[in-house]
Amino acid sequence: MESLTAVFQNHAGKDGNTCDLSKTESLRFLSTELAAFTKNLKGPGVLDRRTRKLDINCDGQLDFQECLNLTGGMAVACHGSFTCSQKCN
């Protein structure tokens, strides 16, 4: 939990607001912290569209809860993939 908070805070605030990730901060966050998951996305607008889908309150920024929705969903997907591969072997 502490690491998730620290990573979020490391990216938030560079554009002014320390409570949210701006569009630029969100894209930077995704491309650096989640590079393994985002490197295979095709097309220049894919990352931007994904970020907009995460923005539940449509304020043009990602707050910590919206960011947790992404990381939590990815953790569930990774866990499912790992446990399925373990069962198959």
d(CA 85, CA 2) in angstroms, rounded, equals: 29
Residue with tokens 């939990």: 1
Find the length of the chain: 89
The whole-number pLDDT of residue 16 equals 82
The whole-number pLDDT of residue 89 equals 53
pTM: 0.76
Query: Residue 4 to residues 7, 57, 59, 65, 75: CA-CA distances in angstroms?
Result: 5, 21, 22, 11, 12
For every one of its 89 residues, what pLDDT tens digit does the chain have, with 9 covering 90 and above?
898 899 999 999 888 889 999 989 988 888 888 887 777 777 668 888 888 889 999 999 999 999 998 888 888 887 877 776 655 55
Number of domains composing the chain: 1
The whole-number pLDDT of residue 86 equals 58
Domain range enclosing 60 = 2-88
Q: 72: domain CATH number? A: 1.10.238.10
